[in-house]
Structure 1
Amino acid sequence: MQLNFDSYCISPIQPKDGWKICNFVVANEDRLKRYFPKTLEQNLTPDLANIFVAKKVKQFENKGEFLFTLKTNDSNQLVGLIYIKKLNWTKKEGEFAYCIGYEYEGKGITTKAIKILSNHAFDTLNLKTLQIIVHPSNKPSIKVAENCNFTWIKTLEKEHTPPGEKPLDMELYELYNEME
């Protein structure tokens, strides 16, 4: 499966992605350390990244969690990661988590990717509810949620604890599959 838009492609995590993910997280360490600390720490070296990728490929195959890579079509450079995680197959819901590299921020790439993957989640995975949980200071991520028609639901108190910080309140946004 590969989903293309503009000059980018969205693909499921592949065994060969270890080096690219390592390079991506190291280059974007400051962006990832607060909200993606586990992804960061599990990909700081190529060996760690290969272990991470093998685990994520298996989770993808077992429908436990879906990690997608966002790459350029021309150079195949990894520009972002998008998770569909915290899957509840009984309630048919999942949560998006996403990050994009410094030089690709603010270009609408993440918004387009989330719209495409929302359709995929509804049409192929048969999910009914998608969530985005974001800190109120993360204006670009809030903009992605709003541009993708997610609705603010409520504040989740002490939802996320970044490394070395006190728990943070986060904002919950949801999108529902209207096609029944």
Structure 2
Amino acid sequence: MISGEYFTIDVLQLSDAPSLSKMMVENRSRFQRFFPYTLAQNLTPAASEEYIQRKKKQNTERTEFTWTIRDKKTTKIAGLIILKELDWKRGVGELAYCIGQKFEGLGWVTRTVETITKYAFSELRLRTLQIITHKTNIGSIRVAEKCGFQWQKKLVKSYTAPDGIALDMELYERYTDPEASGR
């Protein structure tokens, strides 16, 4: 667990299921377009328990890591950060994150991304981290840029939204070795 002044970053626990489900459902309209699978798996506390069990297994197997961003005052889940699409041979992983609307703009996601980036580079020995976002997600773009991720390219029709429309996404990357950029 990592603790900041107003929030903590922690692994998911089964006891988080009600809080996780509530946060996801309360922010359904916010998450349904770009976080639909996580949302769909957390619509009830029972579904969140299953989700958490899967995430704990993935963490143990080192196939994916999921952490909570928790309001320190209430201990309720404010958001998630996920390190996924891990390619251990190439040393690459992708960061995905979401935050509840009432916690937006507080800098929690930026500080969380900075923390998990340091962890991924120093402890997991990854060499490249990616953030893939849509051009309309200005908050996510700001987080990526504030955390030292550089825009690399447009990923043409790389994401199909729940409405079936294929969208272009923007790829941002950060490297442990700054000389590695542009490869």
Bin the TM-score by the shorter chain. over 0.9
Tell me how many residue pairs correspond in the alignment: 179
Instruction: Please report the TM-score for the alignment, with normalisation by the length of structure 2.
Output: 0.94
Shifted more, 79-88 versus 13-22: the winner is 13-22
Deviation at 1:165, TM superposition (A): 3.1
Instruction: Specify every segment of 5 or more residues in structure 1 that has no aligned partner in the other structure, as ranges.
Output: none
Instruction: Please report the TM-score for the alignment, with normalisation by the length of structure 1.
Output: 0.96
Deviation at 1:74, TM superposition (A): 2.1
1:15·1:57 contact (CA, 8 Å) conserved in 2?
no
Report what 2:64 is aligned to.
Answer: 65
Match of 2:15, SS?
helix
Q: Hey, what's the Cα distance between the residues in 2 that align with 1:124 and 1:23?
A: 32
Report what 1:136 is aligned to.
Answer: 135
Describe how 1:1-180 pairs up with structure 2 within 5 A: 2-178=1-177
Which residue identity lines up with residue 32 of structure 1 in the other structure?
Answer: F
Query: How much is the aligned-residue C-alpha RMSD, in angstroms?
Result: 1.3
Q: Hey, what's the Cα distance between the residues in 2 that align with 1:159 and 1:16?
A: 35
Q: Hey, what's the Cα distance between the residues in 2 that align with 1:37 and 1:79?
A: 17
Match of 2:111, SS?
helix
Post-superposition Cα deviations, 1:9-51, rounded to whole Å, max 9, x if no partner, equal: 1011222221111011001101110011111111101111111
Q: Hey, what's the Cα distance between the residues in 2 that align with 1:24 and 1:41?
A: 13
Instruction: Specify every segment of 5 or more residues in structure 2 that has no aligned partner in the other structure, as ranges.
Output: 179-183
Deviation at 1:178, TM superposition (A): 2.7
Q: Hey, what's the Cα distance between the residues in 2 that align with 1:88 and 1:99?
A: 22
1:29·1:40 contact (CA, 8 Å) conserved in 2?
yes
Query: In percent, how many aligned pairs have the same letter?
Result: 40
Q: Hey, what's the Cα distance between the residues in 1 that align with 2:12 and 2:105?
A: 24
Which residue identity lines up with residue 21 of structure 1 in the other structure?
Answer: L
